[in-house]
Structure 1
């Protein structure tokens, strides 16, 4: 049973999940998670290591499909449409629900090609000038344009770690997604690069539905307006970030926030 704070204003759900269970073979990793994720706010998933937050995040764009033993039950809807129905185009789904991973993973291609690849395969650009525009706009939004505009032909892997992560965010933005999932996007970055990515998340807030898994409670407090606390595969509590951190309703949430376990 999830405790949901009753002072949340009703917002339209971009992603709605009901009674979602995720299994790896016989092992249940997620137990009956129901949540509404709006576009207006950044939603953070927090909780101790191994509590299921990344597994649940990956179920939101069917990344768990890549693991043979994984099975997802329950209902996950994007704009009211069940993403696990048999006719769902998974490639199209992942364009609409982009993902940024823990470790920056630019393609071993030029900076330009890292951004242009997605729009090209999804037919979002009719001409080279369209593509140039998408590349520039995506890099601008990711706060990277001024740093790389004179070196677009260089390999994306030659950038610093923080720049690579912003390149990956620019790559996700380039296909015009509706949702961006971020799985501990700063855990491999230094504090300065982390601050740049957090500024970027703030800039993107409200433009996309953003969900971030983070092991840093300070980061959740800085970047999100809604927080869900996970423990042992269950979503224990969900509410405004400020309330979760200052006035948690559940003893387990309070214990985690105050550092009794983690």
Structure 2
């Protein structure tokens, strides 16, 4: 049973999970998770390695569909629509719920084409001028435009690790998503690049619903307003980030926050 903090004010839910369990074959990786993801906050998923937080994150845009042995039980809704329903277009879903992975994964294309690819295949641009505008706007929002505007034809893979991750965020933004999922987006980056990504998350906050999986409690405390603590496949506790870190209710949360395990 998840402890939800009693002083958690009601907000409009962008995504809603009810009694979600995820299996890999016979192994249950996520056990009966229910949560409402608000549209106007950054929500952090924290917990020790292997606790299921990334698996649950991946279920929010059906990334687990790519794993043959995976199956999902329960209901996950985006704006009230069941994302696992038969009428859901998965390609469209992943445009609405974008994903930024742990390791930067730019396409082996130019910086420009990395951003333009999504809007092209989703028919979001009317001609070259429109596409140019989307590329510039996405790179601006990702805080990368001034660094790359004179070399848009260079390969995206030639950028530094931190720049590549911001390029991947710009690529996610380019298709005008409603939710951005970030799976430990800074774990492969140095402290300076990490600080830039955290600044970017703060700037994007309010424009998109953002969910970040992080192994760093300090990062969760810096960037999020809501935190869910996962342990052994269960969501143990959920509340305002400040309350989770200063006044956790569950003993397991307290032990993790104070460094007794994890």
Taking structure 1 as the reference length, the TM-score comes to 1.00
1:91-240 counterparts in 2 under 5 A?
Answer: 91-240=91-240
User: How far did residue 8 of structure 1 move?
Assistant: 1.2
User: How far did residue 198 of structure 1 move?
Assistant: 0.2
Unaligned runs of 5+ in 2: none
| Structure 1 stretches of 4+ moved >3 Å | none
Q: In the alignment, what sits opposite 2:8?
A: 8
Secondary structure at 1:102 match in 2: coil
Q: In the alignment, what sits opposite 2:58?
A: 58
1:76-91 counterparts in 2 under 5 A?
Answer: 76-91=76-91
User: How far did residue 39 of structure 1 move?
Assistant: 1.0
- CA deviations over 1:33-87 (Å, ceiling 9, x no partner): 0000011100000000000000000000000000000000000000000000112
Q: In the alignment, what sits opposite 1:34?
A: 34
Using the alignment, how far apart are the partners of 1:62 and 1:89 within structure 2?
11
User: How far did residue 9 of structure 1 move?
Assistant: 1.2
User: How far did residue 155 of structure 1 move?
Assistant: 0.1
| Pairwise CA RMSD | 0.3
Aligned residues between the structures: 262
Secondary structure at 1:10 match in 2: coil
Unaligned runs of 5+ in 1: none
Secondary structure at 1:220 match in 2: helix
Secondary structure at 1:143 match in 2: coil
User: How far did residue 220 of structure 1 move?
Assistant: 0.2
Secondary structure at 1:236 match in 2: strand
Taking structure 2 as the reference length, the TM-score comes to 1.00
